[in-house]
Structure 1
Amino acid sequence: MRNIKYTESKSFKCLENLRKTSLDLYLVHAGIEHCAPSHICPGPKDEYIIHFVLSGAGTYTAKNRTWHLTPGEMFLIRPDEYVTYASDLRDPWTYAWIGFNGIRTDAILKNCGFSDRILVNYFYTPQNIIENINLIMESRQLSFAGDLKRQACLLQLFATLCNDYTLHNNKKSSGRGHGQSSVYLEHAIEYIEYSYQEGISVTDVANYIGISRTYLNRIFQKELRISVQQFLINYCLHKAANLLVSTDQTIYEVAKSVGYEDPLAFSKAFKKKFEISPKNYREHRDRMENYSEKQPWET
């Protein structure tokens, strides 16, 4: 069995090689790091890991998607999935993390706002996160009492994440004042925002929410006066328009980035939406830039 290990330097603190204390949920490692510029961490992991961005910036790449992250955002690494995360060159991030596993993991992550497709989310109480991770690292003794203290801190951290996620969603729902349908709408839009690059369908959105396509479409028509299908198409095409004017990606690469496997189908949909081809849109970016800033439900 590996011995518990604690490492501390000016920029790095980590407690690792912790023994399994519970089948339900157990801590594997935890730490805080002030990363050097362009510090890259590639490869799959054996356990679940959540990183909490405390300052600076960086990128996280998983499932053929890249997120640009800033303070207040957290990202999930799932076991055996190849990922890469790197600190920004000019403003390298500082993050805290926890590595964990157990049979209750899926239920806990769901209640923190994560899913198979949603790997990045927000956290709202950074001081609580830092406090609990510091308490974990202070409890370095390989004793029964030390195990209990680390487990208590881990549970408290997750309880805070679950509570914050619930409170945040309730605030968004009450702000619209339209009952349960607005909750479904919020979740549907959130799912589209995080998953549009994967070429999702209306059925995928409905299945994620757990309601029928017909009911979901009725909600979109009532709240936004647009069908789910049209919202999804508009969202992807507006994202594509922004990529065309802000990157040097080829038309094929832009199409792939917004979920279109067939560049011809993408070009046809783009021209129908903007009345100009993707190539000409890029060439006339100044004339068209205001159009791409409209909301997905706007024509």
Structure 2
Amino acid sequence: MQAHSYSYAVASNPVLYENSPLHVLFAGESQTKSGHAVGPKLYDYYLLHFVESGKGIFRTEQHTYRLEKNDFFLIHPGQLVSYTSDEEEPWRYRWSAFTGYLTEQVVQEAGLRVHQPVFHASDHNPIPGYLEQMQLAFYSRKSSSHLSALGYLYLIMGEAGNHLSDWSDPSGADSQIRRTVKQMVQYMSTQYAHPVSIEQMSEGLGYNRAYLSRIFKKETGVSPVTYLLKLRIDKSRQLLRERPELSVEQVAASVGLTDALYFSRQFKRFCGQSPTEYRNKVKQYPQP
């Protein structure tokens, strides 16, 4: 049996937890002893581990997982768990604990559900580096380390989401298409106020414009160009109602259409009246 030098280190967040939306409690690392065992026990916070080397077993109330290098496992609060290091190749892992009333939402978005608390990461993935930087930030004892730790936690959850997104939906290619269309909708919903184009969106998402147009229309029934224009017109109607001090030109510019004449034509095409007529009608007959 190969001898392994036992080590253990942990650093706590210098900022106390006071019912925050999301709060990292501590981060640590350990080269475990042969057969080192924890539990069965419950935790009242989320506790994630990343295996850097060695092997071991992680047991939840539902499953038993045999884990090794580059495996990630998340312990959910209130779940009875145990984990044991291998006798011959005891694992070395890093860990972090976090809590807060937004934690369940963040974990769900990453795909780390109670029935799917593990995943295998690729070689040279950044998760152990994020955990190390989190631990080093806490060692600094600066109050700003709290914010740094949150950043690293979100990066870790992002990596989890990257690994688990394709596993969580068995529909494969269809799932990828739906995610891409959602990305397009998100892009247009956040960028409509800028003079962006479908070409720029396609380039930003890394896809051919013709392909994106095809899958978008199949999923939504309209082309990306029409969707973006309708989104801009809908936003302009809101501004015309709520900001009477803005000129039509200013409203047009605020929704990403710098040509006021083009804006007026498209507004009439969608709404059946000009922007000025719409605004006057709203003044005369205020909407509840």
Residues 81 and 171 of structure 1: CA distance in aligned 2, closer, same or farther (over 3 Å):
closer
Q: Does 1:157 align with 2:141?
A: no
Give the aligned partner of residue 147 of structure 2.
148
**The one of 95, 116, 120 aligned to 1:118:** 116
Residues 138 and 22 of structure 1: CA distance in aligned 2, closer, same or farther (over 3 Å):
farther
- Contact 2:6/2:33 (<8 A) preserved: no
Give the aligned partner of residue 231 of structure 1.
none
- RMSD across aligned positions (CA): 3.1
* 1:34 aligned partner, one-letter code: Q
- Contact 1:40/1:87 (<8 A) preserved: yes
Normalising by structure 2, report the TM-score.
0.52
Give the aligned partner of residue 58 of structure 1.
56
- Aligned-pair CA distance for 1:91: 1.0
Give the aligned partner of residue 85 of structure 1.
83
Give the aligned partner of residue 92 of structure 2.
94
Residues 129 and 22 of structure 1: CA distance in aligned 2, closer, same or farther (over 3 Å):
farther
- Aligned-pair CA distance for 1:44: 1.4
- Aligned-pair CA distance for 1:21: 6.8
- What percent of counterpart residues are identical? 22
Query: What is the rounded CA distance, in whole Å, between the counterparts of 2:134 and 2:72 in structure 1?
Result: 19
Matches within 5 A, 1:215-230: none
- Contact 2:6/2:30 (<8 A) preserved: no
- Contact 2:169/2:175 (<8 A) preserved: no
Matches within 5 A, 1:179-198: 179-180=174-175
Q: Does 1:41 align with 2:45?
A: no
Give the aligned partner of residue 68 of structure 2.
70
- Contact 1:21/1:147 (<8 A) preserved: no
The secondary structure found in structure 1 opposite 2:24 is strand
Instruction: Give deviations 1:70-120, integer Å, cap 9, x for gaps.
Output: 222222212232211010011111111111112222222223222132222
Unaligned runs of 5+ in 2: 179-288
Matches within 5 A, 1:126-275: 127-139=125-137, 140-166=139-165, 173-174=172-173, 179-180=174-175
- Which portions of structure 1, spanning 4 or more consecutive aligned residues, are displaced by more than 6 angstroms? 167-172
Unaligned runs of 5+ in 1: 1-8, 184-299
- Aligned-pair CA distance for 1:134: 1.4
Greater shift, 118-127 or 67-76, is seen at 118-127
Query: What is the rounded CA distance, in whole Å, between the counterparts of 1:90 and 1:182 in structure 2?
Result: 45
Residues 168 and 117 of structure 1: CA distance in aligned 2, closer, same or farther (over 3 Å):
closer
The secondary structure found in structure 2 opposite 1:144 is coil
The secondary structure found in structure 2 opposite 1:13 is strand
Max radius of gyration: which structure? 2
**The one of 7, 10, 17 aligned to 1:14:** 10
Q: Which has the higher contact order (CA 8 A, sep 6+)?
A: 2
Give the aligned partner of residue 260 of structure 1.
none
